[in-house]
Amino acid sequence: MTSGNTEKEPGMESPVAEVIPLKGWRKVLAERMLSSHLTYAEVTQMREVDATELVNLRQSLLSRLEEKYRFRLSYTHLLIKVTAQALHQHPIVNSSLVEEEIRILSDINIAVAVALDDGGLLAPVIRQADRKSIVEVAQEAIKLTEQLRARRFNLDCLKGGTFTVTNAGMYGTDFVTPLINAPQSAALGIGRLVPKPVVRDNQIVIRTMMGLSLTYDHRVLTGATAAQFFKTLQDIIENPKQMELGV
């Protein structure tokens, strides 16, 4: 990062205040995102789901898990499990397109986008998330995030993801359209939790709503297939007693 001068660059109306070289992680991220945008037939579906019961579930688990395991359960942890469970029910979404073959993958490895203090973005992988308990998922996610932010991580932790989850809700975002993380076929964007008036049984009630965005490769998934997966995600979030928590 270098300080700019007061001279104007050719064709620019304002003087340059600062120059940030496009190199290192910035260059890698830029190249991968541009490649994703140019290569994939990306389509995004969005829907608002009722997360009231998910909020209640987290609240019921929070103190017990914190006291027993010394970690604080987050919505991201729960949504990793929800996503893994939905992928198990819709294997085609957990796939990669390689040349002229759609390869359905046997392991469900959830990559979770983590923002770094310097503006970087990395996605460590929770391997076989569908087979792990919520405690194992949360502990692994916390450990990987701490290692990334302390710059003490092995590059292997970034490899092998089959689906990506990115939670923009913590920054106050309602909806986000994530780019697909190659060679995956889909990615889920999570928005913030917001109390809203909604109609239930012809009555206006306050529920905690959450915006979700599913970006997928239309070469691999039809709109109907993506919608079916999305509906399963919604059903589990709205009825979290279906969740296989392992606790």
Residues involved in catalysis:
218
Q: What is the DSSP string of 164-222?
A: EEEE-GGGT-S---PPP-TT-SEEEEEEEEEEEEEEETTEEEEEEEEEEEEEEETTT--
What the block records as the tokens of 5 is 């001068």
Q: Report the alpha-carbon angle 168-170-172, nearest 5.
A: 80
Give the largest CA-CA distance in the chain.
64
Please state, in angstroms and rounded to a whole number, the distance separating the CA atoms of residues 104 and 158. 20
Which residues, 6+ apart, have CB-to-CB distance to 26 below 8 Å? 20, 120
The sign of the torsion formed by the CA atoms of 90, 230, 163, 95 equals positive
What the block records as the tokens of 140 is 């692994």
The sign of the torsion formed by the CA atoms of 233, 236, 237, 238 equals positive
Helix (H) or strand (E) holding 138: helix 134-149
Contact 136, 127 (CB under 8 A): no
Burial of residue 48 (number of CB atoms within 10 Å: 0-12, 13-18, 19+): middle
